[in-house]
Structure 1
Amino acid sequence: MIRTERCLDGRLAASYPAAEHDVELQVTGVAPDDLGRVLREESDRILEKDPECRKVVFAALAADLAAVAAAESAGFRYVVDVDVPDEEGAVEELSLLVREPDFVTHVDMDLDHVPGT
């Protein structure tokens, strides 16, 4: 199952300084070998659908190193571990990984030029 929601409207709202267009991508019931492909395809779709999206966030259980590796293979980068209450109120430790569009990560190497001048 694949589910998306704005981070400000979901379980990650208080976990990091989320922006208005950040989207959490939740993937369950996918074979571990397919997770990287699914994350890549779905994050591509999200970024194409919303050009103002600055972060697609995937939250893996902190102990699930295979899910973290799959996300990294799909272009996500690890950011931080957070504690989030689950549906029953128990606390889960999640590793947040993000995929950002090129306009967010682009670095202008012309350090002698100030943009807009």
Structure 2
Amino acid sequence: MSIELQRCARGRLRHSYPVAAHDIEVRVLAVNSAEELTAILRAVVVGIREAEPSCRKIVYAVGWNEAQHGTISALATVAAAEAANFRYVVDVDIADAELGLLVAEPAWVTAVDIDLGDVLGS
């Protein structure tokens, strides 16, 4: 098993969505099961959040046209990532693949202030 981390702004995803400077793509290579992938992704998210507190998105890309890691289907891979608290966001095309992007975001990014009585300009 190996894990690759790359800033999205410098990697293969740089033109695929509105990338922020601190977004990080996680690539996990050679896992044996969806359960192992879930455990790895959970641990990686914790490590990235500790090392890079300004990271808004941790991105995990699933290739739709091939089995993941040799044995895990794309849908099982998505389910494994979702079990690690990633959420599916969008499909993108890059030069050599069609990918589904899943993200893990910290609470400070996803928090919403639902004060509907406070309208700007009123």
Displacement of 1:106 after TM fit?
0.8
Give the match for residue 82 of structure 1: 92
Give the deviation of 1:36 after TM superposition: 0.7
User: Which is worse superposed, 54-63 or 93-102?
Assistant: 54-63
Identity rate, percent = 51
Q: Secondary structure at the match of 1:47?
A: helix
**C-alpha deviations, 1:49-89, integer Å up to 9, x for none?**
1111000000011251111110011000101111122xxxx
Aligned to 1:15: 16
Give 5+ residue unaligned stretches, structure 1. 86-90
What letter matches 1:68 in structure 2?
V
Tell me the matched-pair count: 109
CA shift for structure 1 position 19: 0.3
Q: Secondary structure at the match of 2:77?
A: helix
Runs of 4+ in 1 over 6 A off after TM superposition: none
**Contact 1:25–1:43, Cα closer than 8 Å, also in 2:** no
The alignment yields a C-alpha RMSD, in angstroms, of 1.4
Work out the CA distance in 2 between the residues paired with 1:39 and 1:99.
10
| TM-score, length basis structure 1 | 0.87
